[in-house]
């Protein structure tokens, strides 16, 4: 293992060099010398990684509980798994940081097992090898409940909205207020979920100032030293996106769950949200720090400290059968820890990349997201891997759009595509969750990180 430590100027990522080497090799032979069977080798992988969604009533389009259900899908399963599109995890392996709290990707060995199983005719094997079936909780539950051992301390419900059976996208931007607090409190995590089963069918994504959610993105688990302040009666502005499902849903609503630090307890650091937009006209990135800037650009002065610069990304023009790339640059005026990274594009989106140029001139890719508009995962960095950027770092964000037939998600390559909110229009930005750091805080985190990485390297050495 290479030394994961770098110098004090902030390049202190725990990039997995082993992962790069693996990606260059063919899939490792998963099971040497014996036939790979569904019962013994594949079923445990599906149980652990797929069935939570691929079961009756789950969000996946088909059930993968039994051999009879899985076998007809074998070639498509191989394709999705080998191309790393399933389970849904869109960080390009081998480029940039690979250590995330919510990584659901398969190991190279697991992928190798599935590929080998499909290539050898997808045999069942000995039914006696089948693991006992899993049992699932069918209610709508909070994902973080098992993490914290309790439901959220506060729940805020959105007003209901009626979604007709057919038609195009619906946006709904109502307001709610936090009820039930007598004093300001610090949040350690937030989660958004559809309010009930019917809402789940039509719910595409929602943002609030506190949290955001989309298919595949449910919660924000803040770094263990950080939190967000919630005021009694705080206004929650929702930005919800529904899509008709074929049936009338009269009271679609969503809920925001908030887990709090104990009363009187204040985390060391604060978490905030920002978006990096690629702006083709100015060829620079616009950092937006509050939703007010996004919703009401005209009312925010250009030099407002709340949002460094304000423009709308409205002159993207993607020709029929063409590709387009937008790139933007943003210089950080303050030290920053990047806690999580989430892409946003629509159906012609291909990938988004974030790179950093450090004050000493070194340039590195932070991450590349292989875009799939069905998934809006917030990739949450492990505490030891969240990038620490010193002020003066230049962040470069790139968005590439593909309006050709090569893009399997392209609904119609003969169309011109422009900036817009509908799924058939395009846009590209990064949503990040970050912590701004004073110089002394930054120095302290860098020192702590160096110590942690040294300990991890030592442990690894001792284990060998
Ligand atoms: C978080 C939920 C989730 C998990 C976990 C998940 N899937 Fe999926 N899967 C979906 C959804 C939703 C779709 C449909 C949207 C899409 O294709 O992205 C899908 C689509 C697929 C498809 C394509 C079906 C088609 O009609 O083209 C295959 C094959 C598949 N999944 C296999 C798997 C396998 C194998 C695993 C585990 C190794 C897995 N999935 C894990 C939710 C999930």
Please report the sign of the dihedral spanned by the C-alpha atoms of residue 103, residue 108, residue 109, residue 112. positive
Q: Topology of 271-444 in CATH?
A: Jelly Rolls (2.60.120)
| DSSP 8-state code for residue 297 | G
Place of tokens 């057919």: 166
Residue nearest to atom 33 of ligand 1 (CA): 86
Pocket test for ligand 1, best of 30, 54, 70, 89 (most atoms within 8 A of CB): 54
Sorted by sequence, the CB contacts under 8 Å of residue 250 that are 6+ apart come out as: 160, 162
Q: Which residue has the higher pLDDT, 60 or 268?
A: 268
- Which one, of 134, 115, 142, 119, lies nearest residue 64 by Cα? 134
Ligand 1 pocket check for 385: Cβ under 6 Å: no
Please report the sign of the dihedral spanned by the C-alpha atoms of residue 215, residue 311, residue 228, residue 355. positive
Q: Which atom of ligand 1 is nearest to the CA of 73?
A: 29
Query: In CATH terms, is domain 145-269 a member of 2.40.110.10?
Result: no
Ligand 1 pocket check for 76: Cβ under 6 Å: yes
Q: Which atom of ligand 1 is nearest to the CA of 216?
A: 1
The neighbour count for residue 463, using CB atoms within 10 Å, is 6
The β-bridge relationship of strands 269-270 and 226-230 is parallel
Ligand 1 pocket check for 282: Cβ under 6 Å: no
CA distances (Å), origin 184, targets 220, 236, 383: 19, 15, 26
297 alpha carbon, distance to own chain's centre: 26
Structure tokens that stand for 15 in this block: 């990039």
Ligand 1 pocket check for 52: Cβ under 6 Å: yes
Average pLDDT estimate for 237-244 = 78
Separation of alpha carbons 182 and 234, rounded Å: 11
Residue 309: the pLDDT is: 28
Q: Report pLDDT digits (tens) over 138-191.
A: 666 788 898 899 999 999 999 998 888 888 778 788 889 999 899 999 999 998
State percent of the chain over pLDDT 70.
80
* Phi, psi at 124, each rounded to 5°: -75, -45
> For residue 285, what pLDDT band results from cuts at 50, 70 and 90?
very low
Place of tokens 């260059």: 24
Name the H helices within 74-130. Answer: 74-82, 108-119
CB 74 within 8 A of CB 82: no
- Work out the angle between the directed axes of helices 74-82 and 108-119 (0-180°, nearest 10): 150
Pocket test for ligand 1, best of 38, 45, 72, 80 (most atoms within 8 A of CB): 80
The neighbour count for residue 53, using CB atoms within 10 Å, is 16
Query: What kind and span of H or E run contains 70?
Result: helix 67-70
Question: What is the 451 CA–ligand 1 centroid distance (Å)?
Answer: 40
Tell me if 145-269 shares its fold with 271-444.
yes
Q: Is the pLDDT of residue 10 over 60?
A: no
- Please count the helices (runs of H) and the strands (runs of E) in the chain: 9, 26
Mean pLDDT across the chain: 81
Highest mean pLDDT among 117-131, 232-246, 318-332: 117-131
Q: Is the pLDDT of residue 215 over 50?
A: no
91 alpha carbon, distance to own chain's centre: 9
Question: Domain boundaries in the chain?
Answer: 19-129, 145-269, 271-444
Q: Report pLDDT digits (tens) over 375-414.
A: 878 899 998 999 999 999 988 888 889 999 999 889 999 9
Q: Report pLDDT digits (tens) over 308-335.
A: 322 334 457 888 999 988 777 778 888 9
CB 225 within 8 A of CB 268: yes
Separation of alpha carbons 372 and 449, rounded Å: 33
| DSSP 8-state code for residue 129 | G
State percent of the chain over pLDDT 90.
46
Q: Which atom of ligand 1 is nearest to the CA of 104?
A: 5
Separation of alpha carbons 284 and 288, rounded Å: 13
Question: What is the 57 CA–ligand 1 centroid distance (Å)?
Answer: 14
Residue nearest to atom 42 of ligand 1 (CA): 60
């Amino acid at each position: 293992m290479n030394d994961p430590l770098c110098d004090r100027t902030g390049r202190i990522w725990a990039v997995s060099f082993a992962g790069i080497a693996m990606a260059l090799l063919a899939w490792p032979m998963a099971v040497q010398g014996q036939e790979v069977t569904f019962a013994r080798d594949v079923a445990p992988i599906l149980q652990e990684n797929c069935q939570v969604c691929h079961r009756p009533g789950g969000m996946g389009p088909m059930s993968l509980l039994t051999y009879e259900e899985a076998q007809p899908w074998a070639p498509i399963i191989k394709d999705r798994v080998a191309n790393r599109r399933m389970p849904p995890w869109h960080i390009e392996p081998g480029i940039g940081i690979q250590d995330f709290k919510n990584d659901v990707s398969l190991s190279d060995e697991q992928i190798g097992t599935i590929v080998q199983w499909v290539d050898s005719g997808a045999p069942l094997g000995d039914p006696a090898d089948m693991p006992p079936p899993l049992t699932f909780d069918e209610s709508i539950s909070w994902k973080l409940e098992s993490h914290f051992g309790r439901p959220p301390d506060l729940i805020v419900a959105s007003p209901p909205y009626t979604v007709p059976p057919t038609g195009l996208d619906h946006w709904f931007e109502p307001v709610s207020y936090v009820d039930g607090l007598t004093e300001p409190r610090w949040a350690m995590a937030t989660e958004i979920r559809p309010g009930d089963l019917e809402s789940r069918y039509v719910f595409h994504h929602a943002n609030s100032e506190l949290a955001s959610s989309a298919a595949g993105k449910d919660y924000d688990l803040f770094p263990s030293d950080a939190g967000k302040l919630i005021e009694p009666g705080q206004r929650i502005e929702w930005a919800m996106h529904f899509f008709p499902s074929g049936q009338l849903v009269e009271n679609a609503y969503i809920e925001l769950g908030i887990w709090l630090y104990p009363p009187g307890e204040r985390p060391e650091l604060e978490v905030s949200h920002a978006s990096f937009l690629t702006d083709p006209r100015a060829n620079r990135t616009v950092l937006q720090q509050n939703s007010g800037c996004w919703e009401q650009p005209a009312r925010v002065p250009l030099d407002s400290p709340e949002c460094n610069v304000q423009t709308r990304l409205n002159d993207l023009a993607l020709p029929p059968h063409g590709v387009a790339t937008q790139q933007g640059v943003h210089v950080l005026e303050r030290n920053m820890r990047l806690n999580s990274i989430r892409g946003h594009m629509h159906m012609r989106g291909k990938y988004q990349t974030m790179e950093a140029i450090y004050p000493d001139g070194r340039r590195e890719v932070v991450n590349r997201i292989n875009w799939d508009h069905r998934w809006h995962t917030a990739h949450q960095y492990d505490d030891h891997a969240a990038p620490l950027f010193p002020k003066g770092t230049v962040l470069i964000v790139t968005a590439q759009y593909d309006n050709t037939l090569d893009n399997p998600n392209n609904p119609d390559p003969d169309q011109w595509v422009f900036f817009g909110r509908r799924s058939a229009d395009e846009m590209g930005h990064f949503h990040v969750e970050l912590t701004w750091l004073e110089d002394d805080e930054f120095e302290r985190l860098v020192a702590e990180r160096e110590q942690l990485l040294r300990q991890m390297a030592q442990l690894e050495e001792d284990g060998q």
